[in-house]
């Protein structure tokens, strides 16, 4: 056996256990689910009906649109607020900014279930805000519970700190010297923001947005505890299919649909990474 072959055997031998584990526990179930999604539950024959069901049934299609609405709003608002927060944390050196900088990651350490219940006790129609209002003679009903707005508020609570963390890291990589340089040659604050900071941090914004997007498409706890009955977010609709109706093939099809929705953002993520590599290679 030549030296080269031996080396190859060793190399592949080392990789094989990890490779097999991934194939068995990730790739194989995914492949099975995809195959299942094209099969009729009772006959096993090839069909598209598991997919068309989600686009032709009014209630299911509403769920899809509703989920996209909640997710798009969450991404847009979370990124906007997180960007402002990150700018403040990066360029202000006051005591307040340092305190916020130390505290803003705390929500990441609160278990999701506790956070959701805490939010519910504050915003529900008989919650904290309502009770404070009653002290001043006002019966405030926010109407957030069981509606999209409530879900978005909760999602923002989870995602703003996360997005801000990623964007802050990106902004931290912009050296003070180039900003000072730009100011020296007469660029105003706004010009510095639009021509220097934004272009230099856009990649981190995209990455943060893709992560927020992906984690919210399949969210379950928040919509289960705070969402209404109709329309529902896809995570709940999926739970219904496999847990309530035992329609495993439709559940598989819905999983694939959700995967494709997530894949949109994964595509953006990979594209922005590739572009970056090209730039580095030049």
Partner 1 sequence: MRMKRIGAMLLACTLLGATLASCTGAESSGGATTAASTTTAAAEGGSEATPAEPAAEGGGTVHIWATGSDNVRQIFETLINEFNTNSEYAGQYTAVLNFQPSGTGQAAMTDGLAAAYQAGQENTEYDLVDFSGDDLSKIIALVGEDSFLPLDDTMIPNRGNVAAKSSVAPDRVQPYRGTTVILAYDSEKVPEPPKTLDELVAWMEANPGRFVYNVPGTGGAGDSFVRTSVYNYLPEEAITSADEQWVEQWDEGFEFLKSINPYMYSSGGSIVYPNKNQGSLDLLNQGEIDMCPNWADMVLSQRASGELRESIKITQIDPSFTGSLQTLAIPTIGSNPEGAAAFINFMITPEAQQIMVQQMAAIPLIDTSSMDMSGYEDLQGLDVSNFRIMSIGNLGTTFNERWDNEIAPLASIPE
Closest to partner 1 by CB, 38 or 224:
224
Token pair of 118 as six digits: 């805490």
Q: How far is the CB of 48 from partner 1 (least distance, A)?
A: 21
Closest to partner 1 by CB, 243 or 277:
243
Crossing angle of helices 49-56 and 58-91, in 10° steps, is: 80
Q: How far is the CB of 73 from partner 1 (least distance, A)?
A: 16
Residue with tokens 């963390």: 165
**Residues at the contact surface with partner 1, assessed by CB under 8 A:** 6-7, 9-10, 13-14, 16-17, 20-21, 24, 58-59, 124-127, 141-147, 149, 224-225, 228-230, 240, 243-246
Q: How far is the CB of 62 from partner 1 (least distance, A)?
A: 8
Closest to partner 1 by CB, 6 or 189:
6
Closest to partner 1 by CB, 100 or 118:
118
Q: How far is the CB of 215 from partner 1 (least distance, A)?
A: 21
Closest to partner 1 by CB, 6 or 275:
6
Q: How far is the CB of 160 from partner 1 (least distance, A)?
A: 23
């Amino acid at each position: 056996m030549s030296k080269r072959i031996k080396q190859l055997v060793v190399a592949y031998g080392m990789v094989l256990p990890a490779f097999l584990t991934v194939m068995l526990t990730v790739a194989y179930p995914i492949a099975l689910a995809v195959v299942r999604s094209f099969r009729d539950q009772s006959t096993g024959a090839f069909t598209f009906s598991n997919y068309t069901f989600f686009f032709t049934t009014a209630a299911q299609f509403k769920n899809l649109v509703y989920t996209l609405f909640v997710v798009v709003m969450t991404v847009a608002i979370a990124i906007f607020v997180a960007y402002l927060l990150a700018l403040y944390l990066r360029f202000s050196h006051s005591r307040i900014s340092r305190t916020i900088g130390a505290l803003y990651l705390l929500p990441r350490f609160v278990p999701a279930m506790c956070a959701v219940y805490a939010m519910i006790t504050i915003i529900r129609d008989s919650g904290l805000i309502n009770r404070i209002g009653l002290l001043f003679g006002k019966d405030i009903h926010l109407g957030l519970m069981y509606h999209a707005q409530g879900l978005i508020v909760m999602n923002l609570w989870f995602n703003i700190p996360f997005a801000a963390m990623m964007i802050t890291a990106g902004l931290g990589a912009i050296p003070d010297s180039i900003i000072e340089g730009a100011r020296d040659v007469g660029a105003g604050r706004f010009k510095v923001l639009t021509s220097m900071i934004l272009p230099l941090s856009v990649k981190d914004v995209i990455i943060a947005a893709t992560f927020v997007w992906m984690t919210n498409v399949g969210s379950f706890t928040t919509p289960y505890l705070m969402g209404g009955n109709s329309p529902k977010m896809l995570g709940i609709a999926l739970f219904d299919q496999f847990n309530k109706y035992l329609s495993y093939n439709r559940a598989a099809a819905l999983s694939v649909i959700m995967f494709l929705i997530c894949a949109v953002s994964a595509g953006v993520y990979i594209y922005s990474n590739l572009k970056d590599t090209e730039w580095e290679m030049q």
